[in-house]
Each structure stands twice: as C-alpha cells, then as structure tokens.
Chains A and B, each alone.
Chain A
C-alpha cells in the first residue's frame, strides 16, 4: 500500500461526461487485484477536503486506470487534469473478488462497470470466459465503456434505459434468462452498479447461486480509521451491531452478508 504523487499518463474523455484516467503507479499495478480501489485527492487545498474512492478499472504494465463520471466538485477537478500532471493517490485498498469454479456472470450498470473490466480480464487470463451483462442510461453512456469489454472474448449483452442501444430497460431483466440457459450449473454471479440493481441481483441469486457484490459508500479515509463507510449487515458483529465497513470488510461482499434496504 502506498500514498504518493504519481504521474497521469492519460485522461481521456469517452463521452457522456465519462473519463478514463491512467496513472503511472508500478507499486499498485504490481499487486492490485480486481475489486480493489484507490483513494484519490482530486485537488490541492481543502475543498474538496476528502479523497474519493475509485475502483481499479484495469492495469497495464506499470499503469493503473480508473473510470469516472463527472458529477460533483471532485470529479470535475479530476476531469480537467492532463497527462503529465501529478495525482496524489493511495492504494491498493480493500479486498478483491474471489474467483470460483463454474460459469461466471458479470452484471454491471453505469460506473459500476469499472471493476468488472478488471475482473473479466483476470478471468480471461485464467482461461475463464465470463458472460457479461452491462447496463447504461443511453447509447452515449454505454459507448463510453462498452468498447473495452468488446475487446475481450466472451458473451456480451447490454441494455439501455431508453432503448437507444441494445435491449430497452434495465439489464437486470436479462439475468434470469441467462442463468436459466444452464439451470443446473453452479453459476458464479459478480455485480457492481446502482444499489437497486445489486439488490435485485442478490434477490435473483438468493439460495441458488453464489453472488459477490462491490459496494460503494461515502468514505473519508479508505484505511479503516474513520469508521464512516458503514453498510448494514444481515448478521450481528462482535461489537453488537449489524454493521460492515466497506473499506475494511469490502468493498466486495457476498450478497447474503448484506441487509438490503428497500
């Protein structure tokens, strides 16, 4: 784990306010696993104050890459940085997806697709061909991240909320049909995306297929010090509470660890 200023090698606008940003970070690239994240100081000074967590989208050689959408103050600052500039980063942090035997399904929506590319690449390098389901709001958003997934071998399905590309509606609607294609198989399902999507994935998989989800919360430190990145657990912990900490216990959880809120 390092905290250091490292050089940006690429900050590319992909359309729909989505960017991919690569950083020269050999110490992180060498050890990072799919599902892990980094904390990024998006600006100098005290506003924004806190670092922002980003899943690692992929690694290549000495570089790591994140995928982000320009939404608030932090990501706006990030979008303005150029190759050659320095970025203060901290990582790699958190746990990783666990690869298991059986056919694999990766289902992601919006910026939640970020760690799934790294996961799919990891699977491919081990001879596993995942089934990938991706959801986006519209064609522009989908086209921002789809090409990276298309570069992988494997089955790929996608949907947009407005039907401007692929199936119309939420990608979750395609999941039961995919899993039913091989109903006897021990599917391994991996998901990252909006909370309602992961909740629906967890419900479909419950008692049938193991499901891993990557969770996102507000986070101050990323290193287990602030205890702010709490989510509600199904079981009571040894402190007598039903809480999990995303940076310490996650960000990847078994879906059944989580008490899903309606």
Chain B
C-alpha cells in the first residue's frame, strides 16, 4: 500500500479542511521562512504564525527563556512586527505556499482584537484566525480574557462579527474549569478551540538569589506539559461540539496520536520546532506509517478513538 492510500484530511470547522492534522504552534515557527531549510512548508497541515498585534511590540527585557526538566520557560512578551509590517513584509512569502495560513492575533482590548480581525479579513491568502486570549506574559487584558468565561465569550462574539474567516480560540490552561472556557468560545461563535497555551511557572537562580526570568514568571512548554495538555483536550472535547485542536508538548508522532485519540481533530507542534526544526515533517511521516501498518485509511476515524464512544 503506498502513501496515497492514506487519507489524513481533517476538518477543523468553519469550512476549513486540512490535508493533514499537523500544524505549527504560534510563536514557535516564526513567520514560516525561518524553517524553509528544514521542512516542507507546502505539505504542512497549516502554518500558524507568531501572534500579531495592532502595533509592533518590542517584547520583554532579557533573560526571556530558561530550560527546565523536559521543558522550557519563556517570557518573550509577544514581540512581533505588528499588523502593517506583517501584511507588507511577511504575508507575501507565506501566500506563496500551498499550505493554509492561520494568523494568531492578540490585543489589550476587545477593540484592538476587532481591528486586527477586520484588517486581516481584507487580505487574501489567510485561511483562518486564531484568537490568542491566553498569553501569560503580558500585563494587561490577555489574562483576563483567557480566564473569565464571560469576557472570552464577549471577545469571541465581537471578533466573530468582524470577520467571515474561520475562527479558532486558543485557550489557556491556567483556569479552574477548561470546559467552561471552551463552551464560552463555542457560544461566542468560534469554529474551533485550540489548547493548551503554556502553564505559568518560574525558576530561581540560587546563586544570584533571584528569579531567572526578568519577567519573574514565564510560560512552561515542552514534553513536561504533555500529560496536562492531553487531559485538558479530553475535557474540552467533552464540553463542546466544535473541533478541538490539541497543543502541548507534542514532539513525536506518538504524542500526536494520543491527542487525536483523546478527541483532537488536529494538533499543533510547538517547542519541538526549537530543538528539532524537522519535527513537523517527522510527525506527519510517523502518522502515515502508523496508519499504513494498522490498515487505517482515514485518519478522521481515529479522532476520539480512546473515548470509547463518549
């Protein structure tokens, strides 16, 4: 049986179908070009670019990152080029590729998110918007949107009205009830939810007797968070009827299959891109191999396979 017999297509809502479920996570894949020497950009399920704000953001002071056991903490502070430069300098390159482009957006106010969505709605070559309501490293707004269901729903509703593009809401794990947050996004009109963003953590330099990161706290990512992410994807899939996109420490094809079997319709690879820039290709190849060896023709039949019909 050759590769063409495997159908890896998945539906992530709002009419957006991907050729395969392997996407890149925002903030770990630059604007695509950084990885052109290492991966086949055209054959990715989708590229999710570094989060864009209305105006450029310089990010946080250094140190911004530190390695932890099987993971890393980051407090980049959403450094990005801003909407205008993104459209002018980054979008033309990305539009030249076959894979769907998903633009992650972030703001300090509902108004800012609305402007961003409306601005991107006018551009060609964008397949969906991912609403980042969950970055832990900015002082204003972001965290409140990500932790209060009412605010998340209101924000989603507003952005929904500003664009006809498929809308994904990226959820924070730093909440007490992930199901409530997923439902808030669904009620607000989201076509899918993606989760998890990073878990808030910290590290202390015992020689200097102070936090390692200038921001004090940072977002924990990498293989260390995978079991937590998997549990939350399972719970979110319980809570909503829209597709769930799994994120959190996915580094191998086996990790990806776990998320799909937990109920994720697609997955995003994040921190693994940093230590293995070919990770997305290897994960896709691994999924194909698994399907071939197990005589599975259509990947979508495995979504939620571990749930026993639940």
Question: For chain B, which range describes its interface: under 10, 10 to 19, 20 to 34, or 35 or more residues?
Answer: 35 or more
B47: min CB distance to chain A, Å = 12
* Nearest CB in chain B: distance from A204 CB, A: 25
Task: Tell me which residues from 32 to 59 in chain A have a Cβ below 8 Å from any Cβ of chain B.
Answer: 41, 46-51
B67 in the interface, Cβ–Cβ < 8 Å? yes
B275 touches A51 (CB 8 A): yes
B220 to chain A, nearest CB (A): 11
B62 touches which of A47, A90, A217, A223 (Cβ 8 Å):
A217
Taking residues whose C-beta sits less than 8 angstroms from the other chain, chain A's interface range is 20 to 34
Given the interface pairs A228-B76, A241-B79, the reply to whether A3 lies near B62 with Cβ below 8 Å is: no
A46 touches B59 (CB 8 A): no
Complex contacts, A229 vs chain B, CB 8 Å = 65
User: Given the complex of chains A and B, what is the CA–CA distance between A46 and B72 in angstroms?
Assistant: 11
Whether A49 lies near B72 (C-beta < 8 A) is yes
Of the candidate stretches B6-14, B26-34, B149-157, the one touching chain A is: B26-34
Stretch at the interface among A16-24, A153-161, A189-197, A230-238: A230-238
Contact A218 B66 (CB under 8 A): yes
- Residues of chain B contacted by A241 (CB below 8 angstroms): 57-59, 79
Instruction: Please judge, given known A-B contacts A49-B223, A220-B72, A225-B28, whether A239 and B34 are in contact too, CB under 8 Å.
Output: no
| Chain B residue with the shortest CB-CB distance to A52 | B67
Q: A225 vs B82: C-alpha distance in the bound complex, in angstroms?
A: 16
Given that A50-B72, A217-B62 are known contacts, is A226 also in contact with B274, CB under 8 Å in the complex? yes
**Given the complex of chains A and B, what is the CA–CA distance between A91 and B138 in angstroms?**
33
Expressed in whole angstroms, the Cα–Cα distance for A89 and B303 within the complex equals 35
Partner of B82, one of A224, A232, A239: A239
Chain B nearest CB from A208 CB (Å) reads 28
CB contact between B274 and one of A3, A221, A239 (< 8 Å): that residue: A221
Query: A47 contacts B70, CB within 8 Å?
Result: yes
* A225-B70 contact given A3-B278, A217-B63, A241-B58, CB 8 Å threshold: no
Closest to B28 in A: A225
Q: B34 to chain A: which residues have CB within 8 Å? A: 223-225
- Among B58, B70, B275, point to the contact of A239 (Cβ < 8 A): B58
Q: Mark A1-21, 1 if CB is under 8 A from B, else 0.
A: 111000000000000000000
Complex CA distance for A237 and B85, rounded to whole angstroms: 14
A220 touches B277 (CB 8 A): no
Q: Is B37 an interface residue (CB 8 A)?
A: yes
B58 with A232: CB separation less than 8 A: no
Complex: how many Å from CA A218 to CA B218?
Answer: 15
Q: Is the CB of B38 within 8 A of A239?
A: no
Residue of B nearest to A226 (CB): B274
Least CB separation from B222: chain A residue: A49
B273, CB-defined interface residue at 8 Å: yes
Across the interface, do B58 and A221 meet the contact criterion of CB distance under 8 Å? no
Q: Tell me which residues across on chain A come within 8 A of B274, comparing CB atoms.
A: 50-51, 220-221, 225-226
The answer to whether A239 and B67 touch across the interface, beta carbons within 8 angstroms, is: no
Would B70 and A49 count as touching, CB distance under 8 A?
yes
The complex places the Cα of A1 from the Cα of B16 at a distance, in Å, of: 34
Q: Enumerate chain A residues within 8 angstroms of B271, measured Cβ to Cβ.
A: 49, 220
In the complex, whether B134 has a CB less than 8 A from a CB of chain A is no
> Residue of B at shortest CB range from A218?
B65
Given contacts A46-B222, A220-B274, contact A240 B58 (CB under 8 A): yes
Name the residue on B nearest A219 (C-beta): B65
Contact call B278/A227, Cβ cutoff below 8 A: no
Interface residues of A (CB under 8 A from B): 1-3, 41, 46-51, 90, 217-221, 223-232, 237-243
B residues bordering A, Cβ < 8 Å?
28-30, 34-35, 37-38, 50, 55-59, 61-67, 69-72, 74, 76, 79-82, 85, 222-223, 251, 271, 273-278
Residue pairs across A and B with Cβ atoms less than 8 A apart, 19 shown, are: A41-B275, A49-B72, A50-B67, A50-B72, A50-B275, A51-B274, A219-B65, A220-B65, A220-B67, A220-B72, A220-B274, A220-B275, A221-B274, A227-B50, A227-B64, A230-B61, A239-B81, A240-B58, A243-B79
Known pairs A90-B277, A239-B80, A243-B62; list 4 more (Cβ under 8 Å): A220-B274, A221-B274, A232-B62, A243-B61
